[in-house]
Chains A and B, each alone.
Chain A
Amino acid sequence: MIVSKKIVLHFPSRLVDQPIVYRLIKEYDLSFNILKASVIPDEEGLLVLELSGEQSNYDKGIKYLTKTGVKIQSLSQNVLRNESRCTHCGACITICPTNAFELDKISRQVIFINEKCIACGLCIKACPPRAMELHF
Chain B
Amino acid sequence: MLRTITEINEKLKAGKAIITTAEEIIDVVKEKGVALAAKEVDIVTTGTFSPMCSSGAYFNIGHTKPRIKLGGGHVCINDVPAYTGFAATDIFIGANALPDNDPRNRLYPGEFNYGGGHVIEEIVAGEDVQLVANSYGTDCYPRKKLATWLNINDINQAVLFNPRNAYQNYNVAVNLSNKTLYTYMGILKPKLGNANFSTAGQLSPLFNDPYYKTIGIGTRVFLGGGIGYIAWWGTQHNPNAPRNNLGIPSRPAATLAFIGDLKQMKQKWLVGTSMIGYGVTLTVGIGIPIPILSDEILKFTSITDADITAPVVDYSKAYPQCNPDILTEVNYAQLRSGNITIKGKKVPTASLSSYAGAVSIATNLKQWLQDGKFLLSEPVAPIPGSGSGYQLKPLVERPIRIQ
Contact = CB atoms under 8 A, between A and B. Distances in A.
Contact of A107 (B186, B348, B356): B356
A95 interface: yes
A93 interface: yes
B5 interface: no
B372 interface: no
B52 to A, nearest CB: 12
Contacts of A90: 350-352, 354-355
Nearest to B188: A94
A88 B357 contact: yes
User: Which bracket fits the contact residues of B?
Assistant: 35 or more
Contacts of A91: 186-187, 196, 350-352
B190 A109 contact: no
B99 to A, nearest CB: 16
- Find the residue from B51, B193, B271, B352 having the highest chain A CB count within 10 A: B271
Contacts of A92: 350
A89 B355 CA distance: 7
B180 interface: yes
Interface string A120-135: 0000011011100000
B348 A128 contact: no
A87 interface: yes
B359 A108 contact: yes
A125 B276 contact: yes
Contacts of A103: 338
B147 to A, nearest CB: 28
Given A42-B179, A85-B271, A93-B348, A128 B355 contact: no
Interface in B129-151: none
B383 interface: no
Nearest to A99: B348
Contacts of A130: 113, 274
Given A94-B350, A128-B275, A129-B271, A108 B189 contact: no
A40 interface: yes
- Find the residue from B195, B356, B357 having the highest chain A CB count within 10 A: B356
Contact of A126 (B50, B179, B187): B187
Nearest to B180: A43
B139 to A, nearest CB: 47
Contact of A94 (B49, B276, B348): B348
A128 B283 contact: yes
Given A126-B186, A128-B283, A129-B283, A89 B276 contact: no
B77 to A, nearest CB: 19
Contact of B283 (A40, A87, A126): A87
Given A42-B190, A126-B186, A89 B274 contact: no
A20 B353 CA distance: 41
- Find the residue from B187, B193, B349 having the highest chain A CB count within 10 A: B187
B102 interface: no
Contacts of B187: 91, 95, 126
B273 interface: yes
B111 interface: yes
Contacts of A88: 354-357
Contacts of A107: 356
B178 interface: yes
A105 to B, nearest CB: 10
Contacts of B186: 91, 126, 128
B359 A87 contact: no
B194 interface: yes
B272 interface: yes
A87 B351 contact: no
Contacts of B179: 42
Interface of A: 40, 42-43, 85, 87-95, 103, 107-110, 125-126, 128-130
30 contacts: A40-B193, A42-B178, A42-B179, A43-B190, A87-B49, A87-B271, A87-B283, A88-B354, A88-B357, A89-B283, A89-B351, A89-B353, A90-B352, A90-B354, A91-B186, A91-B196, A91-B352, A93-B348, A94-B194, A95-B187, A95-B194, A95-B350, A103-B338, A107-B356, A110-B356, A125-B111, A128-B274, A128-B275, A129-B272, A129-B274
Given A89-B50, A125-B111, A126-B186, 13 more contacts: A42-B178, A43-B190, A87-B354, A87-B357, A88-B355, A89-B352, A94-B195, A94-B348, A95-B350, A108-B355, A108-B359, A128-B51, A128-B283
Interface of B: 49-51, 109, 111, 113, 178-180, 186-187, 189-190, 193-196, 271-276, 281, 283, 338, 348-357, 359
Closest 6 CB pairs between A and B? A94-B194, A88-B356, A108-B356, A94-B350, A128-B273, A89-B354
